[in-house]
Structure 1
Amino acid sequence: MGSATTQALGSTVAALDAQTTIDLDTARELFAAARVVGESSQLSGALADPTAPAGTRARLVADIFGKSFRPATVAVLTATAQQRWSGAADLVDAIEELAVRAATRADKNVDVEGELFRVSRLVAENPQLELALGSRLGDSAAKGALVQTLLGGRASEATTLIVSSLVQQTGDRRVRQLLIRAMQIVADQRGRTVASVVTAAPLTAAQRTRLVETLSRRYGSGVSLNEIIDPAVVGGLRVQIADDVIDGSISSRLADLRQKLAV
């Protein structure tokens, strides 16, 4: 991510946070805008053109989305178009991120991170499903409908909207990559950090509480745990937060021992 995009993204997230009427309809409109802009290199290039005056880009947003989208959505898209982006692809990614954040804001009582994690595990355990959702040859609307069918009644409306929208515009990205990114965005919107925990057996409630407290102190923010059961770790656990890995599993210790004995 270029420095221009980093600064622009911060400004657009602030513009979204400043809106008081954000709901799932806003998220739907932002996802729709991301698809429209992403499918037109001419439009995305025009909106991300650093040589074009900010006012010109704002009028382009108004001309395309002003009559069909609500004022709050148009205001966020206008703020996005007025920023300086490192490239057109970054602009599209930013609109998509704003859509995920808007869906997250729609219902603060829903564990969107946890639901997205469960969907990612479902995809990981079903290669045919991942292929169906990630194929560039498949019909986008059909992929969205498939997600609606799979998650109907099993996940919140916010999570279903996020997943069904993301699979309709995968580009060169794998579905699991999209879901992991979405989890990180949701956690950031809620001021938390995502920790993936691999353990041989499910953690008890007390163990989860102690682990969350320990990680929260270490990283200075709330932590959301995503638990993966893998008998191969034998005992102990392995924790990953972003690029940090804390490996206290018995399998890791055995591997270290074998390596030392082989020297």
Structure 2
Amino acid sequence: MGSATTHALAASNAALGAASGVDLGVAGDLFAAARALADTPQLSGALAYWGSAPDARAKVATAVFAALGQTAQDVLQKVVRERWSDAGDLVDGVEELAIRAAATAEPEADIERELFQFARIVAADPQLELALGSRLGDQAVKGRLVQSLLNGRANAATALIASSVVQRPRERRVRELLGRAERIVSDARGRTVATVTSAVALGAAQVDRLAAWLKSSYGTDISVNTIIDRTLVGGLRVQIADDVIDATVSSRLSDLRQRLAG
């Protein structure tokens, strides 16, 4: 991500944060805008082109997105006036705003956990992952498939995010798209995602104590996702971004075997 995009994304996020009446309708409008930009390279290229005046780019956006709700239009006006490093960053930026809007619309929903669980379901089903990740076929059909899978099983905001991101795979696996969305939701809520792998299921009190300890270590609220892996024998493996804390029995046994062999 270039410095121009970093600044543009920060300004765009601030514009969304200052907007009133952000609901799932606004999030849906922004997802629709992201798809339109991705599907029309000439449009995204024109709106990201540094050589044109901001007012000219805003005029184009007004004409193209006239059918969207007023709140989404106002946010997009701010977005296209910013200076993005390239068209791809502009598209990703609008999609991020859509994810943040969905998180804002449903502040009490456990969107991070539901996205994580759905990513696990997809990862465990090769046929489903292939169906959702393939570049062939109608992308809208993929979105409707995800909606049907999550209907009654997840919050409406989660279903909107998941069904929207799978429609724009851009050379990424579905689980990666869902993981990115999960991190954006956590960031929008001032949290960091931790993935905790254990040999047995952790109780609620154990998860709370672990989250409190991680918060004191990292200085931020932590959203904990748990995975059970019987091969670990015992202990925990905790991953936060690129940091890995491996205190599993299997890891210690592996270290011991290496020392004995070496």
TM range (shorter): over 0.9
- Extract structure 1 runs of 4+ deviating beyond 3 A: none
Number of the residue aligned with 2:261: 262
1:138-181 Cα offsets, whole Å, 9 max, x none, are: 21111111111111100111000111111111121110110000
Q: Which amino acid aligns with 1:229?
A: I
Q: Percent identity at matched positions?
A: 56
Could you say what secondary structure the match of 1:7 adopts? helix
Number of the residue aligned with 2:41: 41
CA distance in 2, matches of 1:105, 1:201: 34
CA distance in 1, matches of 2:60, 2:140: 27
TM-score by length of 2: 0.99
CA distance in 2, matches of 1:185, 1:253: 34
Q: Which amino acid aligns with 1:48?
A: A
The answer to whether residue 165 in structure 2 is matched with residue 174 in structure 1 is no
1:86-126 Cα offsets, whole Å, 9 max, x none, are: 11000000000000000111111110001001100000111
CA distance in 1, matches of 2:34, 2:208: 38
CA distance in 2, matches of 1:115, 1:251: 29
Q: Which amino acid aligns with 2:30?
A: L
Mapping for residues 39-188 of structure 1, pairs under 5 Å:
39-66=39-66, 68-188=67-187
CA distance in 1, matches of 2:108, 2:97: 19
Mapping for residues 182-261 of structure 1, pairs under 5 Å:
182-261=181-260
Offset at residue 216 of structure 1 (A): 0.5
Q: Which amino acid aligns with 1:59?
A: K
Could you say what secondary structure the match of 1:194 adopts? strand
Could you say what secondary structure the match of 1:228 adopts? strand
Offset at residue 51 of structure 1 (A): 1.0
Could you say what secondary structure the match of 1:169 adopts? coil
Number of the residue aligned with 1:13: 13
CA distance in 1, matches of 2:116, 2:231: 20
Offset at residue 262 of structure 1 (A): 1.2
Report how many residues are paired.
262
Could you say what secondary structure the match of 2:171 adopts? coil
Number of the residue aligned with 2:26: 26
TM-score by length of 1: 0.98
1:173-200 Cα offsets, whole Å, 9 max, x none, are: 1101100000000000000000000000
